[in-house]
Amino acid sequence: MKRIDMMDNNALAKLLFPEVTLLPEDMEKKFPARKLPEGACVTRIGPSPTGFVHLGNLYNAIIGERLAHQSQGVFYLRIEDTDNKREVEGAVDTLINAMAYFGVNFDEGATAQGDNGEYGPYRQRQRKDIYHVFAKYLVEQGKAYPCFMTAEELDAIREEQMANKEDPGVYGKYAKCRDMSLDEIKAAIDAGKPWVLRYKADMNDERIVVEDAVRGKIEMPRNFMDFVLLKSDGIPTYHFAHVVDDHLMRSTHVIRGEEWISSLPMHVELFTVLGWQQPIYCHTATLMKIEPDEEDPSKLKKRKLSKRKDPELALAYYQQEGISKDVVWEFLLTVLNSNYEEWRQANPDAPYTDFPYSIEKMSISGALVDMDKLRDIAKDTIGRMDAQTVYENWLGWCEEYNKDFAELLTKYKDRTLAALNVGKSGKKPRKDIENWKQACDFMSFYYDETFKHEDNMDEQADKEVQKQFFAKYLESYDHADDSSAWFDKVRKITEELGFAVKPKDFKKEPEKFKGSIVHITNMLRIALTGRANAPDIHEVSHVLGEDMVRARLSKWA
């Protein structure tokens, strides 16, 4: 009896996959185990080209990249394009470009120019023949069968199951095509009926245990579903592709979002049936967002980031806003590893590659995308860069998103570099820039082309005082004065005009003065920078140069 089954299975396999001649062992030979040092991690990201590059894509990429490169392993890019319905024209390039923009470096995999590496192809649609080798094998083993059920039939059993409060899906008695005879199958195929290949699961009430690297033990019921291996176009589902690819490409760690935990039983089943070793699974936390509850706005609610509602979920958002790739890395690293921030404080100038990344320190509850935190990290990160680096990055962004400003930066390169150094000399350097877009705004006063008056001088002193002050200031102004000589002069004028040299004196006895030195320096600042809140006047004056200083001030004298 058993023998006949086996013969049937072989005949069925031949019928379904007439073109497949290679065997699983041929594949093993073609993609041998990698020769890597002990403990080296082989990781990957496997995004699908939907045209939308997700923050989560980067999040998982960073984990994979760190794990691989810190262990002298391999990090590769695999395009998971098994769903032709979702694929968007040009999406693969968008994806590859975005990864490049954010400085994610792959050792092998899909590139804009084609594949790079010995374990390809790295685009799943091109791996059809490979999947079919194993599909055929599973049929031979009696672990897979063709299913001709239509969408309507599937809907019908689902309804029935819902009504009976049973688990929905194709399994047990609902798997109508499980026991078709070879002749019946042949007839159906000859009649041109489309079919999918389903896994032939055992009905069972066993449980499986998976040791997840970030979550620890995960215990679940063993798979009993006849899930789809190959779709009617012969392309595998994610489940089958994942198992075949990660085995053949020799991934040691599978890093993916926690939404995959529920399909773990299928994957475990396939690894077992194919006799392969499971990779180490790392299921990462979903990116969350916090906001007022729609029903009760007084309460805050945590929810999954959504593509539709949250622009910050798209990687493109960070590019557009001019949020530096270094900042995004720094941010993600602190969200990802709870001890990164501490490490960064202790090693402010070390490259992030020095940080010993560990899976154990990963967060398992939903990580929040906190824009306040991002801003703070941005100011620190950019604050740590030298002027030249800031200049280059900023210019790079402007060339793409603010051409006019790019021109200014090029034209006034020296002045810009000097301006970027303002307030950076001491122990407590300023941290004014949080992103390139905001930098254009913040730095605008250094260029006549973008300089404008944002604050009103009249709030500081009346017109007559303004005139007197600027006349005196210009008269005594010596561009060569150092900071203290310069400020002595300001003090002197302040006194002459009847203003308090010490702000505290004015506070104590306001009736004795017309104002304080604060009003005087604010006037200077507004004249020079257009705003009352700006970096050190003396330093700014020296960036602008004597001509610009005199030109801007003489308007008020």
Q: Which residues from 319-338 bind RNA, rule CB under 7 A?
A: 335, 338
Q: Which of residues 8, 115, 129, 258 is near RNA by CB under 7 A?
A: 258
Residues 416-445 that bind RNA (CB under 7 A): 423, 428-432
Minimum distance from CB of 302 to RNA (Å)?
5
Compute how many residues bind RNA; rule: CB under 7 A.
Answer: 90
Q: Confirm or reject binding of residue 121 to RNA (CB under 7 A).
A: no
Which own/partner contact pairs does 27-35 have at CB distance under 8 Å and 24+ positions apart?
A: 27/130, 27/133, 27/134, 27/248, 31/118, 31/119, 31/248, 31/249, 31/250, 33/250, 34/74, 34/250
Q: Which of residues 116, 141, 286, 438 is near RNA by CB under 7 A?
A: 286
Q: Which of residues 10, 97, 363, 389 is near RNA by CB under 7 A?
A: 363
Nearer to RNA, 142 or 366 (CB): 366
Minimum distance from CB of 525 to RNA (Å)?
6
Residues 72-111 that bind RNA (CB under 7 A): 80, 82-83, 85-86
Q: What is the largest CA-CA distance in the chain?
A: 114
Nearer to RNA, 468 or 521 (CB): 521
Q: Confirm or reject binding of residue 228 to RNA (CB under 7 A).
A: yes
Residues 169-198 that bind RNA (CB under 7 A): 169-170, 194, 196
Q: Confirm or reject binding of residue 300 to RNA (CB under 7 A).
A: yes
Piece in contact with RNA (CB under 7 A), picked from 20-28, 91-99, 286-294, 408-416 = 286-294
Piece in contact with RNA (CB under 7 A), picked from 8-16, 178-186, 357-365, 541-549 = 357-365
Minimum distance from CB of 400 to RNA (Å)?
27
The token pair that represents 293 in the structure block: 């509850």
Nearer to RNA, 304 or 512 (CB): 304
DSSP secondary structure, 242-303, as one string: HHHHHHHTT-SEEEEEGGGGGGHHHHHHHHHHHT-PPPEEEEEPPEEEEEE-SS-TTSEEEE
Which own/partner contact pairs does 54-57 have at CB distance under 8 Å and 24+ positions apart?
A: 54/307, 54/313, 54/314, 54/315, 55/287, 55/305, 55/312, 55/313, 55/314, 55/315, 55/318, 55/369, 56/257, 56/286, 56/287, 56/313, 57/95, 57/98, 57/99, 57/315
DSSP E strand boundaries for 317-389: 367-368
Nearer to RNA, 41 or 526 (CB): 526
Q: Which of residues 364, 462, 475, 485 is near RNA by CB under 7 A?
A: 364
DSSP E strand boundaries for 422-523: none
Cβ-Cβ contacts under 8 Å for 308 (sequence gap 6 or more) = none
Q: Which of residues 538, 542, 550, 557 is near RNA by CB under 7 A?
A: 538
Strand partners, 192: none
Q: Confirm or reject binding of residue 376 to RNA (CB under 7 A).
A: yes
Minimum distance from CB of 355 to RNA (Å)?
15
Minimum distance from CB of 8 to RNA (Å)?
23
The token pair that represents 510 in the structure block: 């306001």
Neighbours of 112 (CB within 10 A): 10
The token pair that represents 149 in the structure block: 């059920």
Residues 384-403 that bind RNA (CB under 7 A): none
Omega within 30 of 0 (cis) for the link into 121: yes
Q: Which of residues 116, 232, 421, 450 is near RNA by CB under 7 A?
A: 232
Residue type, 89: E
Q: Are 512 and 521 in contact (CB under 8 A)?
A: no
The token pair that represents 67 in the structure block: 């794990």
Backbone angles phi, psi at 427, to 5 degrees: -75, -25
Minimum distance from CB of 49 to RNA (Å)?
9
- How many residues does the structure list for the chain? 557
Q: Which of residues 14, 25, 114, 150 is near RNA by CB under 7 A?
A: 150
Q: Confirm or reject binding of residue 342 to RNA (CB under 7 A).
A: yes
Piece in contact with RNA (CB under 7 A), picked from 58-66, 90-98, 224-232, 467-475 = 224-232
